[in-house]
Amino acid sequence: MGCFFWCSRNSNKKKKSDSNDPKAQVVIGFKAIAQDQDYNPSTPSGYSHVCNAVSSSYFHIGGVICSLADASTFNRRSDCKKDVNGKGKENEHASPSSSAKAPNIKVESNTSSSKVRIFAYQQLVDATENFRSDCFLGEGGFGRVYKGQLADTNKVVAIKQLDHNGLQGIREFVVEVLILSQTDHPNLMKLMGYCAERDQRLLVYEYMPLGSLEHYLHDKRPKQKALDWNTRMKIAAGVARAIEYLHDKMKPPIIYRDLKCSNILLAEDYHPKLSDFGLAKVGPVGEKTHVSTRVMGKYGYCAPEYAMTGQLTFKSDVFSVGVVLLEIVTGRKAIDNTKDAGEQNLVAWARPMFKDKRKFGQMADPALKGGYPIRGLYQALAVAAMCIQEQPNMRPPVSDVVTALNYLASQNYDPQLHSFQYQRTS
């Protein structure tokens, strides 16, 4: 989110008139939001009333022209902050969402390639038949997600509606629109458009018919077939490529900060795509080694140094990639309180086992029933072990992870040729 700065040649020059210029105050206020800083135009600290009233102000944010029109306030909404023990606590700077007057947000691409639409609220009401219960797909921190069909194109879409009492709000909405309107990668969710009409905030995505990876690993329906080894490696490689794109191809680079199985959605043929960019943050550039920010994300996936200090680096995402890879290989949850004390935290359970190759077979998901290549299992676990190193400088760059997982995904495993393996190991 820190990437959404005022992008001009004079952005680093402070003007004496900024304190009296309402448009400049909006820009400064948005920069404060992006950097998780406290800002108030009239007081030295605090987060309420970040932006002064402006009738119309346009400014560049990460290559997109953003307008906050008729905004009397731009209050920060409630965030759920995770402490190092995984317990949620409400951000002390959060303002009650019910008291905030939401600004009308307009994002206009300054490139001809943008295909993000602006929807009227009534269009999305019609698409979901007034958000009918049988169109309901799921619910997250932002709000409820519905399946809908656009009347003008007959295209089936997923529509995410902001819950005004939820854990996320206007800030995450803006970040999601700004990032996804600029990305173009096969492993990132495609944003079809958005609605910012009155107090309504909705995001419209391509529909992902297979749901999330979480459903296939941890919430399997009765008689649902387990993911085979080839599919698992294909998903892992796709996730790593998405993170590589954010780190190495985006300008400025982005730290995703919220990698978990529920945010990995699956298209036809189990093609993985990352979703939910509301917690994304700009990465360190130049000589900076990290960015300091409030600890966000799901417990069990956060890198230890980030959870302890709030210092976020690209290697924080690499740690999360390692946790997800472990989930894919083992079928276990990152945190599972139903297991014995020594097995509740996946990383803590796995680390001692990495020291003995003879235990690698015990780490494979029992649902695979031995349907995996021994060498491939060892290599996948070796990649995961490198990603979850305690010290961030010991973790590989995500580009190296991509190289390794692309190789594993390319090695097609035929279980019929190795059918004896399960009988021998079981």
Domain locations along the chain: 16-206, 213-425
- Of 11 and 312, the structure prediction assigns the larger pLDDT to 312
Q: Which of 72-86, 190-204, 283-297 has the lowest mean pLDDT?
A: 72-86
Which DSSP category does 54 fall into? Answer: B
pLDDT(385) > 90: yes
- Of 34 and 227, the structure prediction assigns the larger pLDDT to 227
Q: What pLDDT, on a 0 to 100 scale, did the predictor assign at position 386?
A: 96
In terms of residues, how long is the chain? 426
Q: Is 18 known to be catalytic?
A: no
For 132-177, the pLDDT digits (tens) are: 989 999 887 778 899 999 999 999 999 999 887 655 667 788 888 8
Given a contact cutoff of 8 angstroms between Cβ atoms, the answer to whether 100 and 109 are in contact is no
E strands, 300-369, in order: 311-312
For 397-418, the pLDDT digits (tens) are: 999 999 999 999 999 998 777 6
Binding-site residues for ATP, in ranges, read 160
Distance CA 241, CA 401 (A): 9
Q: Is the peptide bond before 252 cis (omega within 30 degrees of 0)?
A: yes
Instruction: Tell me what percent of the residues of the chain surpass a pLDDT of 90.
Output: 51
Predicted structure pTM score: 0.73
Phi/psi at 81 (nearest 5 deg)? -100, 130
Token pair 């305690």 is found at 390
- Of 171 and 52, the structure prediction assigns the larger pLDDT to 171
Given a contact cutoff of 8 angstroms between Cβ atoms, the answer to whether 178 and 165 are in contact is no
- Of 4 and 259, the structure prediction assigns the larger pLDDT to 259
Binding-site residues, in ranges, read 160
Q: Which of 79, 258, 276, 317 is catalytic?
A: 258
Which residues are registered as beta bridge partners of 136? Answer: 146
Mean pLDDT, range 186-195, rounded to an integer: 94
pLDDT(235) > 70: yes
Q: What share of the chain is helix, strand, coil (3-state, %, to 5)?
A: 35, 15, 45
Answer yes or no: CATH 2.40.70.10 is held by domain 213-425.
no
CATH class as words, domain 16-206: alpha beta
